[in-house]
């Protein structure tokens, strides 16, 4: 069953609205891991769309149309774009390539303009929660010990590293982040290991 024009319009605008809300939510998360991949996603979309528009506008690629009316409609649309269409397609490709090569996750965060180097209790709670989520197995077996470890680690990181520097480190690989954080949390790791060993010993008795 073919949808009429009004229903198609409602579906398209609803999809755009829901997508925008979801994207805004992700962009506002200061510690969301998906933000590290957003430049790649954004860059790929812009580059592919720009390349497709470039091929159409400069008549390098001509898709097959079902009817003459469709072909004429597309040709008239491309002709109406004129120089702006050519410029826009090139800009989209360059912008997409820039995101793919020189990506900066922080540039897309909606709250990046108001971020400063002062830690807050909200930051601390979010980081402790993230630490607990990252240690799923330990959290289930030793919830209090893991919570104490995460609290110890986050407190030491916040004491040793500025907020801005920490956010910048999130765009690095997991290995690089570990090398940066390891010296600050070494004491917490030792305490955590001893407490886990003690808990295992008590469970065996």
Together in a domain, 103 and 186: no
The yes-or-no verdict on residue 152 having pLDDT over 90 is yes
Check pLDDT > 90 for residue 151: yes
Q: Total domain count for the chain? A: 2
| Residue partners of 4: CB distance under 8 A and separation at least 6 | none
Among the ranges given (1-10, 13-22, 134-143, 150-159), the one the predictor scored with the smallest mean pLDDT: 1-10
Cβ(146)–Cβ(138) below 8 Å: yes
Same domain, 32 and 99: yes
| Mean pLDDT for the stretch of residues 149-172 | 87
Co-location of 80 and 159 in the same domain: no
Report d(CA 7, CA 66) in Å as an integer. Answer: 23
The residue out of 108, 126, 153 marking a domain boundary is: 108
Residue 133: per-residue pLDDT:
87
CB 97 within 8 A of CB 49: no
**Among all chains, which residue has been given the structure tokens 């010296």?**
183
pTM of the model as a whole: 0.44
**C-alpha 15, offset from chain centre:** 20
Which of 48, 77, 108 finishes a domain?
108
- Are residue 90 and residue 10 in the same domain, yes or no? yes
Is the same domain home to 43 and 75? yes
Q: Are residues 182 and 89 in the same domain?
A: no
State which residues form the domain around 121: 116-204
Q: Between 6 and 155, where is the model more confident?
A: 155
Do 91 and 127 share a domain, yes or no? no
Give the pLDDT confidence score for residue 150 in this predicted structure: 92
Give residue 156's pLDDT band: very low, low, confident or very high (50, 70, 90).
very high
Residues 78 and 51 in one domain: yes
Are 9 and 87 in a shared domain? yes
pLDDT by residue (tens digit) across 97-112? Answer: 887 777 555 555 544 4
Look at the block and give the residue holding tokens 């765009």. 171
Say yes or no: 10 and 101 in one domain: yes
Tokens of 205: 């008795």
Q: How far from the centroid of its chain's Cα atoms is residue 196's Cα? A: 34
Same domain? 12 vs 96 = yes
**Percentage with pLDDT > 70 across the chain:** 73
Asked which of 108, 133, 162 is the last residue of a domain, the reply is 108
Are 90 and 137 members of one domain? no
CA atoms within 13 A of residue 146's CA, in its CB half-sphere: 16
């Amino acid at each position: 069953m073919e949808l009429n024009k009004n229903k198609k319009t409602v579906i398209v605008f609803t999809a755009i609205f829901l997508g925008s809300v979801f994207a805004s939510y992700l962009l506002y998360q200061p510690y969301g891991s998906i933000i590290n991949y957003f430049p790649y996603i954004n860059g790929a979309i812009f580059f592919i769309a720009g390349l497709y528009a470039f091929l159409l506008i400069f008549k390098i690629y001509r898709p097959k149309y079902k009817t003459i009316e469709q072909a004429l409609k597309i040709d008239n649309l491309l002709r109406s774009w004129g120089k702006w269409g050519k410029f826009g397609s090139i800009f989209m490709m360059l912008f997409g390539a820039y995101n793919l090569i020189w990506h900066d996750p922080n540039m897309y965060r909606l709250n990046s303009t108001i971020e400063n180097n002062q830690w807050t209790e909200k930051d601390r709670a979010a980081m402790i929660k993230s630490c607990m989520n990252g240690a799923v197995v330990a959290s289930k077996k030793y919830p209090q010990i893991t919570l104490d470890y995460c609290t110890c680690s986050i407190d030491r990181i916040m004491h040793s590293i500025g907020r801005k520097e920490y956010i910048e480190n999130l765009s690095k690989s997991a290995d690089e982040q570990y090398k940066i954080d390891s010296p600050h949390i070494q004491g917490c790791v030792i305490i955590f290991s001893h407490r886990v060993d003690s808990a295992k010993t008590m469970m065996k008795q």
